[in-house]
Amino acid sequence: MNSQKMQQLVEQELLSSYDSLYRLAFTYVKNEADAMDIVQESSYRAIKNSSSVKNAAFIRTWIWRIVINTSLELLRRNQKEVSFDETPEYGTEDIYLDYDTIDALDILNEKERAVIVLRYFEERKLQEIADILEENLNTTKSILYRSLGKLRIKLTEGELCHES
């Protein structure tokens, strides 16, 4: 497949997945403007490097990997600038309504968070998640179950305090 055709396919996938890509970025940065910047930067990178995709069937997972990596890069860059006392400000138009769950994702490491977000927020199949993260399926399942356990403990902490 020629590079121009591959670029068109990448552009089509970016357009059709924009909302999902935004939600994915938002779960990492918890900021509307940063999430949009990540999607924009990721789109630029995907279009610029579209000729490196050898098989059109992998475009979606390739783009998701770019968004995850771009999100992590932004977090690392900003890590020195952000005070741990600050709480994230959520825009009024954001899709997620359960901010306790979004905040609980902070206890997970990068891979654990990606697995949870892709599985439950974006409803991706485990094999697709494994492809995006470049892990085997069993490792992805282990990460999922470990992450769910951590989240269950974190989210029930408050309930236990209120019942006592």
User: Residue 11 maps to which CATH number?
Assistant: 1.10.1740.10
* 90 part of a folded domain: no
Q: How far apart are CA 132 and CA 48, in angstroms?
A: 19
Is the domain of 42 the same as that of 107?
no
Q: State the pTM of this model.
A: 0.71
Digit-coded pLDDT (tens) for 45-73 = 999 999 998 899 999 999 999 999 999 89
Is the domain of 62 the same as that of 100?
no
* 110 part of a folded domain: yes
Is the domain of 38 the same as that of 111?
no
Range of the domain at 7: 1-83
At residue 42, the pLDDT reads: 96
**CB neighbour list of residue 150: distance below 8 Å, 6 or more residues apart:** 107, 108, 112
Digit-coded pLDDT (tens) for 6-52 = 999 999 999 999 999 999 999 888 889 999 999 999 999 999 999 99
Burial of 134: CB neighbours in 10 Å, binned 0-12, 13-18, 19+: exposed
Q: How far apart are CA 75 and CA 150, in angstroms?
A: 22
Using the predicted structure, report yes or no on whether residue 93 has a pLDDT greater than 60.
no
Number of domain units in the chain: 2
Is the domain of 61 the same as that of 104?
no
At residue 135, the pLDDT reads: 92
Residue 97 pLDDT grade (very low, low, confident, very high; cuts 50, 70, 90): very low
Q: Which of 94-98, 99-103, 123-127, 151-155 shows the lowest mean pLDDT across its residues?
A: 94-98
* Angle separating helix axes 59-79 and 126-133, nearest 10 degrees: 60
Is the domain of 60 the same as that of 31?
yes
